[in-house]
Structure 1
């Protein structure tokens, strides 16, 4: 298996792509890769073979997305809830993940050639140390690539993600990096695991289940949800085309809902800023007072986020067992080759 699959498209596939590209193409696709175990049972194989086929299918889907113009993909690879499965299945999944993460490191040059940046979303501390190390090395090795973005949700649930973001903001307030009045939807969103990514335009779930299973709960509020009965290993390029066509039919309604939600968020933040100004200056609030309040809040949040980013980077360096200098030297060497 390779993470960068290069396939020749049939005439019919290229024709379908061209027709779809006349309309809006989702920038960010999220997928719940469900049905691997049922696929294995149908084929009378062991469960792990189904998960292996699932990884192969993900690599294929990434190639379809690149050709179609979808630049961001977030895949639900391993939920925190999956740790409750049998020990043999969990061990098999973790060993498979270790094998595929090692392949990322082997294919660094190929990933750089195609501009693929890989991130892992989730509570990495729940994973074995060897996998944590590989995940950190993969993120550091690909973080400067900027053509295609793959997010793998591993040891992840949306509930845990939101809880973690709230905890980070609470620490920021406790350390006096933020004021309690700075905590709003914008600040919380910036502390989610996938911060910096656009929210998914289209979320696809296979296997016939019609639920999110604690995946991207915050980010998918205004996503187009597409459910299909096909099992994930059987998912084809035509199923993806069908999902994109469904998204295009819903596009204007979703876009309008997103604009209204953003406008409401802006109004709420403006009202809170005005309230803070009134608490300091009474009813004689001027445009200068309001501008100063907005500037101060924005500066505090940016400083907090910059500090958070440095901490995250230091954490990755620690997990990868590389010093900052060693890793930067590796990046420079790869760029010169």
Structure 2
């Protein structure tokens, strides 16, 4: 991993302005003074968009963008845990990715997911911070060897209760809602649930994210301003932050700007 990290640093130096780095450090300190007293979100959702476009822009194969995007996820998770943010959901692959991407690209994404899940199982921060990891999505679209890796990771971390990391893999918000409805109908038919008892709180228990609160903040990179079928039910009152940089270029100052934006907003939840 050290060689890959060095390559990423080299690319960052080539694509960024080295003269600005001292100013970034000063700006980072200034941002920290603004956000350090909170409040901080309890749950952050991330749509890490722009990996392929970033790779094409700097002359790499599109698939390499996903490799650097994966490294950025690990770095961003450290920033999140440093702020003691308890829940995070990462949109790793959508149902559309799993169904409609070319087979070769899809296989590379699954290979990267397999590698990432196995690495997470041994990542020191996971055990240091006692992070429970869950993989949510449509398992019918996931290869069997990847499901085995998912089960091993979830089993390894099932008793951790300080933080929760949800990885949305072959995930779609509409499919999640449909699956919840099917489970509710089944429980009603079997007499386990009275239809008159169905409420928002009851419905929430049937969602993939049933053990996590609704996200307070959703961050999307690459300049696209949509949520693309991500946490549709849960995001009803989430604050949305759209960032112009491609995901592999996402910096701590970009993350802290999102936190600052969240802190400046008045959250009324429709009241």
Common topology (TM > 0.5): yes
Structure 2 Cα separation of the partners of residues 110 and 128 of structure 1:
27
Structure-2-length-normalised TM-score:
0.87
TM-score normalised to structure 1 length: 0.70
Three-state SS of the structure 1 residue aligned to 2:45 is strand
Q: Which residue of 1 aligns with 2:22?
A: none
Runs of 4+ in 1 over 2 A off after TM superposition: 10-19, 104-107
Counterpart of 1:82? Answer: 97
Structure with greater helix share of residues: 1
Structure number with the bigger relative contact order (C-alpha 8 A, sep ≥ 6) is: 2
1:140-169: CA deviations, max 9, x gaps? 110111222211000100000000001000
Q: 2:26 & 2:162 partners in 1: Cα distance?
A: 26
Q: Which runs of 5+ in 1 are unaligned?
A: 261-337
Q: 1:174 aligns with which of 189, 201, 206?
A: 189
Mapped contact 1:124–1:155 kept (Cα < 8 A): yes
Q: Could you tell me whether the CA contact under 8 Å between 1:165 and 1:191 is conserved in 2?
A: yes
Match of 2:233 among 187, 194, 218: 218
Equivalent residues of 1:47, 1:89 under 8 A apart: no
User: What displacement does 1:194 show?
Assistant: 0.4
Q: Which moved more, 1:238-247 or 1:110-119?
A: 110-119
Separation in 2 of the partners of 1:194 and 1:136?
17
Distance 1:155 1:166 in 2: 19
In the other structure, the counterpart of 1:309 is: none
Partner of 1:132: 147
Q: How does 1:270-309 map to 2 (within 5 A)?
A: none
Partner of 1:116: 131
Per-residue Cα deviation, 1:194-241 (whole angstroms, up to 9, x for no partner)? 012011111001111111100000111101000111100000000011
Does the Cα contact within 8 Å between 1:125 and 1:132 map onto a contact in 2?
no
Go from structure 1 to structure 2 and tell me whether the alpha carbon gap of 1:112 and 1:248 turns closer, same or farther (over 3 Å shift). same
Q: Is the 8 A contact 1:126 1:155 kept in 2?
A: yes
Distance in 2 between residues matched to 1:210 and 1:35, nearest whole Å: 12
Residue 228 in 1 paired to residue 234 in 2?
Answer: no
Number of aligned positions between the proteins: 250
* Structure 2 gap segments, 5+ residues each: 6-24
In the alignment, which residue of structure 2 is the partner of 1:241?
A: 256
Query: Structure 2: how far apart are the matches of 1:141 and 1:116?
Result: 10
**Are 1:102 and 2:118 matched, yes or no?**
yes
Corresponding residue of 1:185: 200
Q: d(CA) in 2 for partners of 1:146 and 1:35?
A: 32
Secondary structure of the residue aligned to 1:257 is coil
CA distance in 2, matches of 1:145, 1:202: 23
Shift of residue 21, structure 1, vs aligned partner = 2.4
- RMSD of aligned C-alpha atoms? 2.0
The SS at the match of 1:61 is helix
CA deviations over 1:16-60 (Å, ceiling 9, x no partner): 334312231111111101000101101111111100111100001
